[in-house]
A and B are shown apart, each in its own frame.
Chain A
């Protein structure tokens, strides 16, 4: 039976994890993400799952990756400083292809920064925080219902593509309360990783033979013994020091994501059809952007919003099309200008791209974006 509740974003993440069939959480408390751990410490044992509070954030992701190897769907959640600590093992998960959902509820940084204030300063770290080239999927919810939906989606993508998925929230979304309608959890299909078939001796945990380039993953303890390593490895998982192995493995890791962008990349368009001026905003900032579009329309500015829901990989197709359609794009974000650089690179001169940035502990307000849209219209002249 579905139910309607007033719920906090962080709690909706915990509920989404349970709905998706998560059975394991490992983490370390940190504001503004702690409620996710607290909720799961109560929820998981009721379904036979496991919650463990570890000695630090590195252990939090490490314990979850170990559990994932046994076939469980796992989560770790953190914020700023803890996200920095998790970076090495995020790369391990990407290279060893271990599914995991990592939640980062962003706060103001760097360092301890402003623990209870919202920011979106980890956008680039979510993409490139771990060392070395690697693909990553990052989703950004903009409402409490979306916290629930995207948590389930994060598990679908993580299991389907055998990859870490980051749910990049911000303090606004994590701590806000909204009405959310939760479906009956048994009505939600449980994401499952591909299981190996065939004789155990022939199992290759990193075979590129699959058309989707995602090798099936055997659970530990069930008869297929395999080797997991953070070294560049061959199809069986054994270290291979050759240049060819490096090239082939990284090519496959990137291709398994890049070949499926239509499945992975999700965006939302709001009043863009006839728009001349576009906002690009994600997460908590998008909430002000919807309102600003309405206000601008009322003032005669034909405005619209493109909201990346998957912020990594980049929505290149959608951004290029947008650049060809509108006269000006304004990227709004709670940082000193991170995503704007990628938008600018992708739009590649099709139209001007400017930044509306704010990083003073406060959310961007609709009136500020309205003013930015009006200014853009004045600069363009007419329309």
Chain B
């Protein structure tokens, strides 16, 4: 399907243009999401899209599903409630690096630990875009930020490793530059039963790029092209070669009991043993 038809099918009439700056990668990533949803063949009525607060989280308002633009960091609790109360629904979370890994970090690791069947699409632009470029838990060390005029001291998270360590059964990373691959990764994430993280490396030329002299929007996308390495090839690199590269692709996949299915068993047991 062409993008125009996808827009007609999955974007809400009258809600565009979006609020994103020219050159922002959020549009590419949101486009990849609807392409993946199209390929699932799922009914729009059966999909919930839940976001937090941030530039990226505004995507929920443009999309024609059951949508929640929740509070900063709180998309995962809302999404968990929807999934638990209506397990037949497909629940997708849209979040930013600050939303998911700073203020929502605790919810992130616990949702992963539960292995509840949610797909988290995390727009990682390495900054707090919406509030004007303060440093996030994904800002590389020694970067400039509006709250780090002398450079950042903090070390960034490796989100896929964090999710895996917390118990997620699917973790992938893609980038806005490698958009077709991102579609595949999101599709795999949605199809995977359990907690899935798809980190999409984004670019924010306005709040992050400018401060760090990363060039314009095309230059930032070219940086992704030049620094992303498919996971299998990345593994073969030595530490020095790895230093300024990042792996893309499916980084972790495992099988584990899914939360809502396990809770259904609790209900069955309680009904047999308990009874009111």
Contacts and interface: CB of A to CB of B under 8 A. Distances in A.
Interface stretch (B63-71, B119-127, B134-142, B178-186): B63-71
Given A225-B67, A231-B69, A220 B89 contact: yes
Interface string A344-379: 000000000000000000000000000000000000
B82 A220 contact: yes
Interface stretch (A64-72, A154-162, A243-251): A64-72
The majority secondary structure among interface residues of chain A is mixed
Given A221-B66, A230-B70, A238-B61, A66 B81 contact: yes
A229 interface: yes
A13 interface: no
A48 interface: yes
A70 to B, nearest CB: 4
A52 B110 contact: no
A97 B74 CA distance: 17
A46 B270 contact: yes
Interface centre among B65, B67, B88 (most CB of A within 10 A): B67
B81 A65 contact: yes
Contacts of A124: none
Interface in B29-57: 44-46, 48, 50, 53
A178 interface: no
B234 interface: no
A43 interface: yes
Contacts of A46: 270-271, 274-276
A239 B79 CA distance: 20
B106 A89 contact: no
Nearest to A219: B86
Contacts, number: 150
A47 B50 CA distance: 28
A221 B71 contact: no
B80 interface: yes
A34 B270 CA distance: 20
A45 interface: yes
Interface in B225-270: 263, 266-267, 269-270
B274 A72 contact: no
Nearest to B271: A46
B15 A50 contact: no
Nearest to A231: B69
Contacts of B79: 66
Contacts of A65: 77-78, 81
B150 to A, nearest CB: 32
Contacts of B263: 45, 50, 52
A336 interface: no
A23 B81 CA distance: 12
A73 B276 CA distance: 18
A24 B48 contact: no
Interface string B72-108: 0010111111111110110000000000000000110
Given A56-B106, A220-B48, A221-B66, A47 B84 contact: no
B68 A69 contact: yes
B15 A72 contact: no
A313 B74 CA distance: 29
A52 B74 CA distance: 16
Nearest to B86: A70
A228 interface: yes
Given A70-B85, A220-B66, A222-B45, A47 B276 contact: yes
Interface of B: 12, 15, 44-46, 48, 50, 53, 60-61, 64-71, 74, 76-86, 88-89, 106-107, 110, 263, 266-267, 269-271, 274-276
Given A59-B80, A66-B85, 12 more contacts: A54-B77, A62-B71, A62-B76, A65-B81, A66-B80, A70-B82, A72-B85, A225-B64, A229-B68, A229-B69, A230-B69, A238-B12
27 contacts: A24-B81, A42-B270, A43-B276, A45-B270, A48-B271, A54-B110, A59-B74, A62-B71, A62-B77, A64-B81, A65-B81, A66-B84, A66-B85, A67-B84, A71-B85, A89-B71, A92-B70, A220-B86, A220-B89, A221-B45, A223-B45, A225-B66, A225-B67, A226-B66, A227-B12, A227-B61, A230-B71
